Amino acid sequence: MKNFFRWVGGVEGLTALMVLIGLVGAPSSLMGQNAHFHNAPASTRAQKNPLAGAGGKVAAGAVTAGGKLYADKCAGCHGSGGGGAGNVPALYRGATQRATDGEVFWFVTEGSASNGMPAWGSLPEEERWEIVSYVKSLKGARPVSKMAGAGAPVKTNAAMPTEPFVDFRVEEPGTVHKITVQDLPAPYGTDSADNGPEVVERSAGAWPKAPPGFKVELYATGLENPRLIRTAPNGDYFVAESGSGKILVLRGITAEGKAELTSVFATGLKQPYGIAFYPPGEKPEWVYVGDTDAVVRFAYQNGDLKARGRTGRIAALPHGSGHWTRDVRFSLDGKKMFVGVGSASNVDDPDTTPGENNRADILEFNPDGSGMRVYAYGIRNAGGGLEIQPKTGELWCSVNERDGLGDNLVPDYITHVQEGGFYGWPWWYMGGNQDPRHKGKHAELKDKAIVPDVLLQPHNASLEFTFYEGKQFPAKYAGDIFTSEHGSWNKAVRAGYEVIRVPLHGTGKASGEYEDFVTGFVVDNGHVWGRPVGVTVAGDGSLLVTDDGSNSIWRVSYTGAK
Ligand code: HEC
């Protein structure tokens, strides 16, 4: 049994487990998942797809025809990319891809009325085989909907926004916004929206937009959930593929703006996100990774494309429900390690919720993982972006604030972090504004709650940022912050889904305003094709931006051309 359970893992394992239960006599409800796909008769297993040629390949024309039928008859439930949703299974992977064509044909013909899958026996046999051919062609494809299957465009009748609170309709590269505490509406000024996007495939004409003089190229595609990206001291780019548990290394930029090579540095990580090289400087000896439940590290020398040996676990982190990303940075002198750990909830009171212990904090450790203490607190989620100001050594963070108080509360923010500082969550926000859900609590903290440096659009989901130390962009960008805004769900008309610039005016200090820098990822109020997550400065001074909507990395360079 021991070996069996080691062998059992993921979806494959589950099926294997079902088989085993089937063998020892399972309740009939489980029998549907037996070795034969949905109890398909044994004869269907060997049945050949009549549209397949000698090599088993189906002509492209038949697959295309199947795709049209699929879009019309199946996509409404299974998603246009076969990604499934809720209790409707995915088709691009899993049992459907493991079953034979004959078994799938049989199931599509019979359906499973009691479980919500219609029978399609009334369709001509050839059409059913075309559909099967198409479904099989989805194997391994990304479950992203095409607009065709994603339903009608989602228009909004909302009035156009007025500054300082804006939305995607007016986000334009070069437009400056500034939100101050005086601008904030009262809580519950609007309903609390539930407006998460459907991510659709990028259409041929869609491309990110940057200010005049900048060019946007597709640096890498076909990634799996690329999140944070950091430039190693030797110029390689480390990318956390959080969904697949991997760290990738990408190297170089070809004349066409593409990566010269991609290598898998490490696998088997637990929702990896933060990446830091240690000690700071030109010759790191370790790569630290922020898994969701621990900081781990790998021995490293410049140029390594694969981790040397196994993960070393450095420090356990509070984890479980809620925000899962853990960014990791070192102080310039290498003496301290900072880890952003977001809250477990939207607004639970840490006084009465043990799960919030040491969360919504920036934690500080020694580089060996010892000596944990809270460096700053009341920061709902700085796990998405921590950075050290390269000149002053100051710690900065990018923060996702809370939801549920209406479209225009509470602003996300970017700020330098004061040691021991309290940033409000969950009792206060943006200084001494009390969260109505915690009325009357912690009056003594009211005047302690710090107003952050830069207030961003509420619900923007501000993630990774970087200080621009490159030489390529015009001088006015020197030292400025670039940040990826993953995009809202708790706002009636979506905002974010862009890269922004926070000017520091050559002073290293923010004055509150920010500027839309790269936009164009939103299709309409229901659909987006891209979602910026990470951003880093490349060796040549261009910006690389990860996008976990289109699973790609964009390169933004300055050419000066109009
Ligand atoms: C009304 C919603 C709906 C529509 C339309 C629909 N399906 Fe399904 N489909 C389901 C549900 C629900 C299940 C799960 C049934 C079960 O578990 O027994 C399912 C199961 C399946 C499975 C088995 C997947 C698995 O992992 O077990 C296949 C294959 C499949 N559908 C193909 C299709 C095809 C092809 C079409 C279009 C011709 C289609 N479906 C249309 C709802 C739908």
Q: Is residue 195 part of a domain?
A: yes
> Which residue bears the tokens 């010759």?
283
Q: Is residue 469 part of a domain?
A: yes
Q: What is the mean pLDDT of residues 148-156?
A: 70
Choosing from 113, 131, 149, the residue where a domain stops is 149
Please report the pLDDT score of residue 146 as a whole number: 56
Q: What is the mean pLDDT of residues 527-553?
A: 96
Choosing from 107, 133, 149, the residue where a domain stops is 149
CB count in 10 Å sphere of residue 390 = 15
125 alpha carbon to ligand 1 midpoint, in Å?
17
Both 329 and 409 in a single domain? yes
Please report the pLDDT score of residue 1 as a whole number: 32
Give 48-69 pLDDT, tens digit per residue. Answer: 999 998 778 898 889 999 999 9
Q: Is the CB of 111 inside a 6 Å radius of any atom of ligand 1?
A: no
Both 185 and 142 in a single domain? no
Task: Report which DSSP code applies to 160.
Answer: P
356 — phi, psi (to 5°)?
-90, 5
Both 143 and 191 in a single domain? no
Q: Is residue 255 part of a domain?
A: no
Averaged confidence pLDDT in the chain:
90
Both 42 and 188 in a single domain? no
CATH number of the domain that residue 92 is part of: 1.10.760.10
Q: Which helix (H) or strand (E) holds 69?
A: helix 60-73
Both 73 and 209 in a single domain? no
Both 214 and 135 in a single domain? no
pLDDT greater than 50 at residue 25: no
Both 405 and 494 in a single domain? yes
Q: What is the mean pLDDT of residues 301-318?
A: 94
Which residues have C-beta within 8 Å of that of residue 204, sequence separation ≥ 6? none
Q: Is residue 8 part of a domain?
A: no
**pTM to 2 decimals?**
0.72
Residue 44 sits in which domain range?
36-149
Q: Which atom of ligand 1 is nearest to the CA of 76?
A: 5
Q: Is the CB of 40 inside a 6 Å radius of any atom of ligand 1?
A: no
Q: Is the CB of 253 inside a 6 Å radius of any atom of ligand 1?
A: no
The Cα-based distances of 29 to 15, 34, 39, 99, 109 in angstroms read 14, 10, 11, 20, 21
Q: Is residue 125 part of a domain?
A: yes
Peptide bond into 173 cis (omega under 30): no
Choosing from 149, 168, 195, the residue where a domain stops is 149
CATH number of the domain that residue 296 is part of: 2.120.10.30
Q: Is the CB of 117 inside a 6 Å radius of any atom of ligand 1?
A: yes
Amino acid at 350: P
Which residues have C-beta within 8 Å of that of residue 143, sequence separation ≥ 6? 79, 81, 82, 83, 84, 90, 92
Mutation pick for ligand 1 pocket among 117, 125, 126 (CB with most ligand atoms within 8 Å)? 117
Which residues have C-beta within 8 Å of that of residue 22, sequence separation ≥ 6? 30, 31, 33, 34, 35
Q: Is the CB of 11 inside a 6 Å radius of any atom of ligand 1?
A: no
Q: Is residue 237 part of a domain?
A: no
Give 215-269 pLDDT, tens digit per residue. Answer: 999 999 999 899 999 999 999 999 999 988 999 999 999 998 899 999 999 999 9
Both 392 and 486 in a single domain? yes
Which segment of 132-146, 291-305, 502-516, 544-558 scores lowest on mean pLDDT?
Answer: 132-146
Q: Is the CB of 74 inside a 6 Å radius of any atom of ligand 1?
A: yes
Q: Is the CB of 123 inside a 6 Å radius of any atom of ligand 1?
A: no
Q: Is the CB of 77 inside a 6 Å radius of any atom of ligand 1?
A: yes
Domain count for the chain: 2
Both 201 and 143 in a single domain? no
89 alpha carbon to ligand 1 midpoint, in Å?
7
Both 204 and 55 in a single domain? no
Q: Is residue 155 part of a domain?
A: no
The tally of CA atoms less than 13 A away on the side-chain side of residue 438 is: 22
78 alpha carbon to ligand 1 midpoint, in Å?
7
Please report the pLDDT score of residue 98 as a whole number: 86
Length of the chain: 562
Both 75 and 209 in a single domain? no
Give 118-143 pLDDT, tens digit per residue. Answer: 999 999 999 999 999 999 988 876 55
Both 103 and 211 in a single domain? no
538 alpha carbon to ligand 1 midpoint, in Å?
45
At 504, list the tokens: 């520091």
Any bridge partners for residue 198, and if so which? Answer: 527
Q: Is the CB of 120 inside a 6 Å radius of any atom of ligand 1?
A: yes
Q: Is residue 348 part of a domain?
A: yes
